[in-house]
Amino acid sequence: MTPELQPYPKSQQRIEFLAVVLNLLYTSLYLLEYREAFIPAFIGSSLFVWICFKRNILAESLLQIFYVFMAGYGWMHFADNFVDTKLPIFYHIIFLVLATGSWMISANLMQKRTSSAYPFVDTFTTIFSILATWYMVNGDPFNWWYWVVINAVAIWLYYKRKLYFGAAMFAIYFIMAIIGIFKEFIL
């Protein structure tokens, strides 16, 4: 049973919109390899912590906290971020099994102990985003495949929680991930 959504005040919509703009700015600057990309990443993710909490997608709030720390990590290790390293398929299999187990355990705990809306979808995007981020910061081009699936699921989750700007952001990220696959594996 999904908790009833409270009305979505205009002030929260403005904050969501600002967070989306900042996160899209981060992604654009990151793709252009600007170190300053991590400033809007830090601020945008900080805003999303609050937004996700207010809309009762609790695992996503935790994911945004992770992204705040990753913005600091990215700032400190900027020069290391742009080296492509294809990790062996064995790593992908092991980490997918571990992530799937973590997802099931986390989702069950969230369902039993919190009022999180859509705990299985919420924890899916969180656990697998952490995995995809790990691949991304290690320069593995297969990260784009993970992001296609994660972003598709996130579009649905954010839309269901009436975070329409966030859903639009994930739609843009979905397209960017498709382009990333095309760029890495087809060109």
Res 16: pLDDT:
95
Res 80: pLDDT:
63
pLDDT averaged per 10 residues in sequence order, the chain, 187 residues: 67 94 91 87 96 91 94 80 75 95 96 92 96 84 93 96 95 93 83
Question: What Å distances lie between residue 119 and 34, 130, 137, 143, 154, CA to CA?
Answer: 35, 16, 27, 24, 13
Res 14: pLDDT:
95
